[in-house]
Structure formats: structure tokens, C-alpha cells
Structure 1
Amino acid sequence: MPSRPRRRVLAPVPALILGAALLAPSATANAAPPPDASAPARIELVLDLSGSMNENDAGGQTRLAAAKQAVTRIIDTAPEKAPLGLRVYGATYPGQDRKQGCADTRQVLPITPMDKTARADARNQVAGFKAVGFTPIGVSLREAAKDLGPSGERRIVLVSDGEDTCAPPPPCDVARELKAQGVDLAVDVIGFRTPSSARSQLKCIADVTGGSYADAGDADSLTANLSTLFRKEWRTYQATGKPVAGSLGGCQDAPLVAPGQYLDRFTGGRDLYYKVKKRPDQQLQVSATAVAEGGYDRGSIITVAAGPPGQGGKPREWLREFDQSMGWADIITTGGRSKPGAGEDKPAPDDTGCIVIENSVTKAGDKPMQVELLIGIADKSTREAGARTPQPRTGADAEGGFSFNSATPIGPGTHRQSIAVGEAPFWRVELKAGQKLTVKAGVDIPGDFPASATTGWGLTVYNAKREAAECSRKAGATELLAGRTGRIERVCGPWQITAEGAGSSDAKGYDVPGTYYIQAQVAEPEKKARGIVVPMSLTVEVSGTPSADTGPVFHFGDTAAPDPAPAAASPRDSRPAAPADDDSLIAKLALPAAIGAAALILAGATLYAVKRRRTT
């Protein structure tokens, strides 16, 4: 019989992340941080460097100087893993020969992640730009599409101050040509000091490809518009993990996984199965997060369960939890922990059980969807090893991350940043039993904000099992703006963090000391409305006296592995290395972890667990 449903709140959620290479009892650190996030959308900026960009009408400077300022800002603020390219036209040929002038388009920066070297090279390229030539927009769009490759999410961002002077091919015909290829490619366009005669041509490019169009009249507006376009593509949930392919046919042929972090995918409504080992004296945590590119239908459900295969082949004896989407969010997340076992001081043989992620999210024929899987183990040795918490950040360094794994560590106080429509940044706070948590998030909505009937302001708190904890008994996590402007605030708490056995907050989810996650969001299902930036503040208050009993300490494996490939690209028959078939997972992993990976483990993030939710 399934566990009792609980009312859930809107929020994105990370996936099931498997495992943990555990510390030796004498160590004092936790697991290394999870792998970096998978790359965001591939984007190429196509910049007009025709002769008209030398006109001095962009807020007291030339259009060229304003464009350099805006593009440099994009380069400086791009995430390190963001694949960015740059193509220019009209930059090299100053003559009058039409044939040469209309072939003057070149890629000055290949599509590459913005690491330190690429960023420096891009800045140097931009500093040397000159505007001298023709305006071959159609040809440049066609070449930019080639630069981005034939697959994956790709966008072209075109900045132009006029109409194409080289047609044929007409730019809008090229846009139709690209769209007809059936590829996932859109073109966003910014008209920079564009005359009305050229605006319709540029708007057509955006409309045909499903992109957006905006006007910019000076350097500040160009920078703001570019930042909005890039931000809404890059700042989405960043799923991570070692690729794994769970069985689609049940527990019998499921891959055996050690504690650690993994990345799989849902296909066509099929459940995913994995084998896992847990001694009776150990506690198991399993957390799962499904990540959707376009959001979820209201009512979509993800369920995680573990234990020996039971009736119908479904495991449930150790734990079972679920969560349901309330709309808006790009993730659904849930997690659970098994009850403490008996005989902590007595040797016990391994129990091999099964994990299932039940998929009530996708249907047959749907595009594959990424799923994160997190598995942790706690026992006497992990309690003795202890846990290391990250140093909280403040000021500009406290800007939120975009997944559970990249959540920014913060402490009590008020933290300010901007947030764009569609963004859902994460922060993390370390809490102990006996403490109380209050979270307040406020956003300033300007009078001209283009809110729709579905625009809302959301605040969600997740507990250490990555379950959405109920912030209000009367309302969900997201509040519709309903045309309101000015300061709008949401408050969660104060809530008492309880220790295992205290039995006070099962219905609220504040029953597990450890890492709590905070997520804020200006929610808007319509993608065309995303990207508008508004100021926000986040205030965290922690009060109360911590309990002496910290409860079990969970470790989640040595996850300092190379960047994983996206789950969608991993073959279904691939399998991670199985854990050793030994008498003590903790004992076998502790020594090599302490000797060979101490530095990596010191950087890790620990989740504490105290109480398992009631299951069947």
C-alpha cells in the first residue's frame, strides 16, 4: 500500500544521485563536490560590423563602441561551461565590390565553453573589431547555423542596425530554410538603432524561427537586451552525474550501483531500476530529480522506492516517497531514507535490494528526459567521520546556482541579486536539530512589467532529502501576481528542525537536519515572456539552540569524476562499474578514500538524515 500523499509545492527538483565513496573513520571531511553541470544551450552571437556601425548616435558614442561594450559584458558573465561562439560580418572588406563585400562573414570565436583562456581570447577579438563593410545577413545566418552543428539546443543571437544589403538570399527566406530543416534552432534578433524600413525584415527572422525581437537605442539597452537573451538560455537547471542506464524491465537485470551521483533519462513512461547494497546497520538515502526543458504538466508525479523486490516486482520495504508538479517548474524532485537498522555494533551481511524511479511524467513518444539519481549511506563509521560544511558566501558571491549541486552556500542575513523571469536559482543553508529556519524572499515588480495571468512569485524550501517542504498551510509555493506591482514577498517559517524520533513535522518535511535548499522563482510558463530582469532579496534567519545529537551522517561518494556526457547521449546498454561484493561497503571504501582522495573528499557536500518518512 503506497504511503499517504502529501500536499506538495511548486519547485524544480534534482535527480536521484547515486552513491558515496566514504571516508575513513579518522577523516573529518565529506565527499567531493558533484561534477560540473552539463553544458547549457549552444549559442552563436552574430554581430553587424557594417560601415553604418561607425555612426555616433548611441548615447554619445559610436554604435560600434556600444556593441563592443555589450558583447564584452556577455563574455565576462557567461557561465564557464556555456558554449558560446561569435561571428561577424562587414568587418574586413572596406571596398565597393559587391561580390567580395557580400562574402565578408567570418567566425572569430568557435563554439567553445567560456573558460579562462576562451574568455581572454574573446575579449581580445572584440577589442580589435572594426566596422567597414556590407550587410550580408542572410549569408551570415546560414553560416552560423553550420557553426552550431546539426543537433542539440542551439540559438543564434543576431545584432544588426539595418537591413540586408546583399540579398539574395533574403534573410527571412534563409530563416524559413533553417526552420524547414526541422532542427532545434531559433534566432533572436536585436535591432540596434534600426530604421523602421529594416525592422520588419529583422522581426520576420525572429518570428519564422520561434525567436524573439527587441529594439535597442543605446549601449545600456543593447547590453540589457543581450543579457536577457543569453540569461534565459543559460540559467536553467543543470543536471549532473555519471551516466548510467537503469533497467527498463525490473530489478532482475538492473545495474548494481555504489553510493554516488548518476544521470539517467526517462523514456516514454518507462520506470527505471537499479540494484543497491545496504547492510542492516546502515541507512540508505535515495533522492531523484526529473528535469524537463519545457516545464511539466500539472499533476505529473515522480516516485522513488527501495527495498527487496516485493509483490509485482516493485521494491518498497526500505523507503517510498513521491512528489507532484504544480506547474511552472522545470523539475520534480523527491527523496527518502530508510529507518535505522538494528545491530549497529554487530557485523551483518550485505542486503542487496532494488531502487525504482517510477515515471508518471513522460508518455510514449515523448522526448527523453534527464533524471538525476543520488544515493547515500550512513552508519557508525560515517558518524565518526563527521561532515564538513562549505564556507557561506556573501555579497556578489552569494548569487544563486542553478541546481541542487551548484546551490550557493549562504548563512543568516539578507542577500541581494537580480532574477529574470523563468530563472529558479538555488541556495543552501546548513541546519541542525533544535534550530529554527525562517526564509523571506522579496521581488520588486516594476509598473510596466508585462505579467500574464500565469505569472507568479515563488519560494520553495527543500529538506536534506531534497523533498519540497511545506512553507504555508494555506498556499502553495508560488503566488500569482494578478497584475500587482511593487514589492511582493513570500515567507517560509519559522519551522523547527527536529531530530529523529521527535515526530513533530512529518507533514511539513522539516524533520531532517543537514543541508536545506532554498529556491526562488519568477514563474512564467510562456517562454516568450522569459528573461526580463528584476531585483530580489533573500533573507535567512536561523535561531534556536542546536541539539547535541546530530543524528546519522550521510556520505554520497567520491563524485569528483570528469564531466559527464548528457544522459540522452549515453547508450541504454552502458553500465557503471559495480560495487565490490564485500562484507562492508564503508570499510572497503574508507581506506582508499582517506589515503588517495582526501583532498577531493574535503570539498564535498554532506546531507544529514535523522528520520525516515512513514512508508508502507
Structure 2
Amino acid sequence: MYPRPRRRRVLAAVSALLLGALLSPAATASASPAAPETPEPARIDLVLDLSGSMNKNDAGGQTRLAAAKQAVTRIIDTAPERAPLGLRVYGATYPGKDKKQGCADTQQVLPVTVMDRAARADAKKRVAGFKAVGFTPVGVSLREAAKDLGTSGKRRIVLVSDGDDTCAPPPPCEVARELKAQGIDLAVDVVGFRTPSSARAQLKCIADVTDGSYADADDADSLTDTLGTLFRKAWRTYHATGKPVEGSRTGCQDAPLVTPGQYLDRFTGGRDLYYKVKKRPDQRLQVSATAVAEQGYERGSIIVVAAGPAGDGEPRDWLREFDQSMGWANIISTGGRSKPGAGNEKPAPDDIGCILVENQVTRSGDKPMPVELLVGIADKTTQGAGVRTPEPRTGADAEGGFSFNSATPIGPGTHRQSIAVGEAPFWRVELKAGQKLTVKAGVDIPVDFPNSTTTGWGVTVYNAQREATLCNEDNDVTELFAGRTGHIERVCGPWEITEQDDATSPDSNGYDVPGTYYIQAQVAEPDDKAKGIVVPISLTVDISGTPRSGKSPVFFFGDDAAAQSPSPSGANGNGEQGPNGEQGGNGEQGGAGSTVAAKDDDSLVGKLALPFGIGAGVLLLGGITFFALRRRRAA
């Protein structure tokens, strides 16, 4: 049972910062955690209708075929480099009247492959040569498209059709049910392009039975926008990463031992997750956990991280931190650290403690939910780390990423791009104690935007512990539209970055952890009709104040924990991905490629440094929970 928070705000995030502790070196020195696994983007096969009816000249002053070519070319141009895309057409080669031959007229013109430069050029050349001449074998084409995509990973078919299947049997909806019954992770999104009402029910059925979506399009622009929305939905979502691990669901005694690094587990049916961790009393431990949902959380969902000696009851003597969602967020994240120095905590027998990630997010019967777990330690061997941080990006290269790992590094200034409603991009900035951060994020809402009473513009800043900070003392995190259009702006800060455990400058808003801060922006809880609408946004970052050296710890997250997922846009800048930078005693920032001197051969860092040539790059990933409720709680 959780006591009432001291401060409660609708649509606000109240930060919480508690105890922490560090991982012990001895028993874990021989194994370094693997790099966070880069999630594969959904494999998509675009199935395009090239039947004779596509020659009609009723698509906004041009033929349906010309409009389709324009839309498909746009998809090819904007696909992320890592996104596997294939193209199948039907009705493209046989102009005769023999039904048997015409209903076999379906071809895979582009194998499902990543969209590098050569693949894009080849795909666009093929699209330019399309002709519309034949029958409409929708059902047969769906079966073949499923084969195109293979049998593993997330897969989607995007079907564009302008009418009824002229080749049934097999009826397209029955084929869709057949694919779904196979138990494969495959959905079919359907775009009805100037589709008559007689065919719409058939196409909607395909989407409904496969948990896909249906949309109508009447001209080239609407087809381009609708297809863009569907592909962005599949490609530009949160990318959960980490070394696979299976936490115990029965308590610490059966839990796996985790060393510094980033892990990927999952919540199932309301069950908590337990992990063993080794930590000496002179070390500090950070634990951060992020649950990732395909849709928003129910209000009141809670995720808790705690750590301490294993024993009766819940481990919490080292740290305890939680986050409570008010709903509509695509992630819920929290993190904590132990207090510094020996003697401030209860030691664990043999230095083996327990991490608990408490699940008050899923319930029995819910679909398993990915959970990122980040574990780090700091001790005297990490304090003198030589470090470097990635170069900030500007212009088109500053487009936000879609996970903590792929958050785009930016510096002071104004950054502009467009996002689709429902997307939640991340950026990252490096901050030292003594500096002040101000974030202004604006969105331009068109006059015909279909917002609901709870639709709003949200901005969240997360600190180096993946902990939501308080955006503004006077306003909520999310600015409700309330029917307004035009430019809407949210301001977070200015907040001064203090030093954790600095008694002279305590901060109750989450800004007491120097290092990497994460900024996330989103048009939150949109009406269904608004999902996918693309709107321009601006993000202005101001960093002022004089940096001061301090005693903030430099955390070690494993040799490869700083290996980041590339941005979904394929813009990797200088190749350095977004690790988290913790400020060390010399005031420098920690980052990917930083090297920790092995000053203490008995420490975990010391033992790992020699065989692996470690980088003590610090990766503290931040996340976002819209409409979050946070508070401080003592262990």
C-alpha cells in the first residue's frame, strides 16, 4: 500500500529520488554483459493493386495508378535504412480475360530487404514501370505476401486496393482468418483507395481479423499520408533493447545473477521480477526499469524498482523508487541509486543482494510486456574515467530517436522536424552540476485537427536515472488543446542541475543528477481520427550557468552497455550513439568509448578492464510517462 503523495497533479510528473547502491566486483568479473540487442524493425510487405480499374482518372486530377506510384515512391524515400521493406503487386502482367491465368497474376517485385541506397534506387525504378492491366486476386496475394515475410519477428502486410476481389475463392477475409489462425505475429493494414461501399466491408474484415487497421484514401495526397502513417506506426515505435534475461517470478532464491549492463525481460500477468546482484558496501548501485506498452497504460499503473539484501519481505535497504502512470503513456520508467559510502546501508551476506522490479502494470491474461533493466555500479575505480560524448546533431540529423538508446544528441539551440500524432521521439543533452536547463517545445496544430477533450501537447524531461523530472512548478506536463489550433508551446524549467546528496542545494524535482538528460515530446492521447496526422514541432534547448566540479559518481554499465541502437531514420551522425554521461570528480562527462583505469584489481571494473579493454561509458537511459505521478519515498 502506497502512502498518498505529498503533491499530486493531473497530467504532471512529480520526481522522486531515493536510496541507491552498487554492484560488487568479485564474483562477476569474468562475465561482461553483452551489448543491448538492437530490435529489428517490423518487416513489411506492401501489396499493391494494379488491376485495370487503377487506370481510372479520378484521383485528384490524375489516374489512380499515378497516385499510387507517388505514394509508394514516398514510402521508399522515407523508409529508415534498417527497415525491411518488400513490394508485391497483383494484376500487373496479364491483360487477358482468362480468369485462371488472371487470378494467378501476383508477383513479388521487391524482396523484403533493408532500404539501403541500392535497394531504394532499384525499388523506385520498378515502381516507375508499373502498369495496371489485370484481375484483382486479393486473397491469393495475401497468402503469398505472408510467405514473402518469413516466419519470425514482427511482420505486417499493407494492402492497397481499389475494389472487390474478382478471383474469390479464396475469399480475402477467409485468407486473413487462415493467417491469423496460424498463430504468427502478422497483421494486415488495409487502405481502400477510392473503394466503393460494396468492397469496403470485405477490406475492413481483412484488417479486423488480423488486428490491423483500415483507412480510406481518395487522392494522391491522402494515399501518401495514409500509407506514411501506417509505415511510421510500424517503424517508429519505442525500441526496447537489452541482453535477454529471465528474472525469477518466485523470489530472490531462484533469481539469475545480473552484472552491470542492460537487459531485456518481460512482465507477464502481474508477476514481479527478481534478480540477484553482487555489491560491496563501499560501492553504489543504480537500477533503472522501463516497461514498454504497445498502447497506453491504465491510470494508476505502477512500476517499482527496489534493491537490498535478500531475505524476508521486499528488498529495499539499498534503494527503492517508483513511478505511477496517469494513463496514455507508451512507457513507464523509474530508477534509483544508493547513497554513497560504506556504513550507510545494511550489507548483504557474501555481498549478494536482490533486485526487485515490482509489476503493478499488467494483469493476468494481459499480453507480455517488454521491460528494460539497466544495472550499473560506481566505486573508486570509476571516478577517474577519461570520457567523451557524442557530437550534437543539427538540422535534419537532429530528428528524434525512438528509445533511450537511440535518443538523438543535441546541443543548445532550436531544432525543427515533423512528427506523427502518437509518435514519441527522444533527444538527449549533457548537463553538469551548476548548469541550468530550459526546454521549450512547440507544436503547430492545424485548424481541422480532430482533437478530443483530453488531447494535449506533452513534454517530459528524464534525468540520468530514467526518472521523470518535474517539468514546471506552475503547470502540468501536458498542455490540453481544448479545441485550440495554431502554435502551442510547453516550457520546462529553468532548473539548476545540482549534486546528488548535496545538502546545500537539495532538489526535489529530479534535477540533482548531473549527466545525460532526455527530452521527449508527443501529442498525447489523441482521438482515433487524429492518429498518424503529421504536425510540425520545434524544440528549443537552453543551457546556462557555470559548470562546477563535484563528486557525482561515474557509473559503469558493462563493457558493451554503451553500444546504442541506431536512429530509426538511419542518421547516425558521427557514429557515436547516445550513451549516458555521468559527471565525475573532474567534472567531465561519461560516455561511449570512455576508459576506466583499473585502479583496484579487486573491483569488478578492474577485473574486466584487462581482458576486455573496457570502456566505462555510462549509459543511463531516460524515458517518458505522460500524465505521471511521482513522489519521494524513503527506503
Q: Distance in 2 between matches of 1:431 and 1:117?
A: 40
Q: Does 1:230 align with 2:231?
A: yes
8 Å contact kept, 1:247–1:255: yes
What is the CA-CA distance between 1:400 and the residue it aligns to?
Answer: 0.7
- How far apart, in 2, do the equivalents of 1:61 and 1:92 lie? 22
Contact 1:19 1:258 in 2 (8 A): no
Match of 1:409 in 2: 409
Quote the residue 2:497 is aligned against: 497
- Is 1:585 the counterpart of 2:585 in the alignment? no
- Give the equivalent residue in structure 2 for 1:553: 554
Indicate the RMSD between aligned Cα atoms, in angstroms.
3.6
Deviation, structure 1 residue 156: 2.3
- 2:437 is matched with 437
Letter of the structure 1 residue corresponding to residue 339 of structure 2: K
Instruction: Tell me which moved more, 473-482 or 450-459.
Output: 473-482
> Who is 2:387 aligned against?
387
Partner of 2:597: none
Question: Aligned to 2:383, what secondary structure does the other structure show?
Answer: helix
Note the alpha carbon deviations across 1:453-482, whole angstroms, 9 max, x for none.
Answer: 332211101011110001133544223322
**One-letter amino acid of the counterpart of residue 408, structure 1:** T
**What is the CA distance between 1:197 and its match in structure 2?**
5.8
Amino acid aligned to 1:585: L
Which residue of the partner structure matches residue 139 of structure 1?
Answer: 140
- 2:579 matched residue in structure 1: none
Contact 1:292 1:369 in 2 (8 A): yes
Partner of 2:571: none
Q: Structure 1: how far apart are the matches of 2:245 and 2:151?
A: 25
Q: Is the 8 A contact 2:429 2:517 kept in 1?
A: yes
Which residue is 2:581 aligned to? none
Q: 1:553: how far off?
A: 1.3
- Partner SS for 1:373: strand
Distance 2:168 2:101 in 1: 14
Aligned position for 2:274: 273
Distance 1:33 1:77 in 2: 31
Q: For residues 216 and 97 of structure 1, what CA distance do their matches in structure 2 show?
A: 30
Q: Tell me the equivalent position of 2:627.
A: none
The question of whether the paired residues in 1 share the 8 Å contact of 2:289 and 2:334 is answered with yes
1:422 is matched with 422
- The amino acid of 2:221's aligned partner reads D
TM-score calculated relative to the size of structure 1? 0.83
1:125 to 1:278, Cα distance in 2 relative to 1, 3 A: farther
Deviates more, 1:206-215 or 1:315-324: 206-215
Please say if residues 33 and 405 of structure 1, whose CA atoms lie closer than 8 Å, have aligned partners that are also in contact. Answer: no
Aligned-partner Cα distance in 2 for 1:170–1:521: 40
Output the CA distance in 1 between the equivalents of 2:307 and 2:561. Answer: 26
Q: Deviations over 1:176-224 (max 9, x none)?
A: 6556767665433323344566556545544565544434344333222
Tell me the distance in 2 between the aligned counterparts of 1:185 and 1:592: 43
Q: Residues 505 and 420 (structure 1 numbering): CA distance in 2 closer, same or farther, change over 3 Å?
A: farther
Is residue 329 of structure 1 aligned with residue 332 of structure 2? Answer: no
**CA distance 1:466–1:365, change in 2 (3 Å):** same
Moved more, 506-515 or 67-76: 67-76
Give 1:436 deviation, angstroms: 0.6
Residue 405 of structure 1 aligns to a residue whose secondary structure is coil
- The offset of 1:334, in angstroms, is 0.4
- Aligned-pair identity in percent equals 78
Deviates more, 1:502-511 or 1:161-170: 161-170
Matches within 5 A, 1:480-495: 480-495=480-495
The 8 Å contact of residues 440 and 489 in structure 1, kept in 2 or not, is answered as: yes
Paired residue secondary structure (1:252): helix
Alignment of 1:429-578 (within 5 A): 429-503=429-503, 504-524=505-525, 529-549=530-550, 551-559=552-560
Whichever residue aligns with residue 320 of structure 1, its letter is R
How big is the shift at 1:33?
11
Q: 1:263 maps to which residue?
A: 264
1:406 partner amino acid: S
Matched pairs, number: 574
Distance 1:560 1:75 in 2: 32
* Alpha-carbon separation, structure 1, partners of 2:605 and 2:3: 30
Structure 1: gaps spanning 5 or more residues: 23-30, 565-581
Shift in CA distance, 563/86, structure 1 to aligned 2, threshold 3 Å: farther
- Distance in structure 1 (CA, Å) of the matches to 2:518 and 2:43: 29
Answer whether contact 1:10 1:329 (CA < 8 A) is retained: no
Report how far residue 58 of structure 1 moved: 4.8
Aligned to 1:571: none
1-structure distance, mates of 2:349, 2:389:
32
Q: 2:586 aligns to what?
A: none
Deviation at 1:159, TM superposition (A): 1.5
Matched residues in 2 for 1:54 and 1:167: separation? 22
Q: CA deviation at 1:106?
A: 2.3
Comparing 323-332 with 552-561, which one deviates more in the overlay?
A: 552-561
AA in 2 matched with 1:488: I
Contact 2:50 2:90 in 1 (8 A): yes
**What residue identity is the alignment partner of 1:489?**
E
Amino acid at match of 2:285: L
